[in-house]
Amino acid sequence: MYLIPTDDQDGAFAFAKVGRGSGIPLSVILKKGGINYEAAKHIFTITIFNYSEGSVGYELAIGEEAPKEPYTGKPRGRKPKASESESAV
């Protein structure tokens, strides 16, 4: 998917206020593209490219969510209680 800034308002998507920043309502774009973003989680990789003289465009590549690495640090939470056989020793 390519996002290119334009001054022509016909068929263009405007920035919307989101929290403290701004964003583009991608839900409309993704629905038109046939991407089911509600059932599956997607990751976007954004690449900047020169569209025309003095104009910058953005390429959004959709990828699948990477599997999460298992936690290998310090165990969290309470320590398990010692069983009776361990406390008798």
Output the pLDDT for position 87. 53
Write out the chain's pLDDT in tens, 89 residues. Answer: 787 777 777 767 777 777 887 777 778 778 888 888 788 777 888 888 888 777 888 888 887 766 778 888 887 888 888 876 655 55
Output the pLDDT for position 85. 61
Output the pLDDT for position 88. 55
pTM score, whole prediction: 0.50
DSSP string, the chain: -EE---S--TTPPPPEEETTEEE--HHHHHHHTT--TTTS-EEEEEEEEEEETTEEEEEEEEEEPPPPPPP-SPPPSPPPPPPHHHHT-
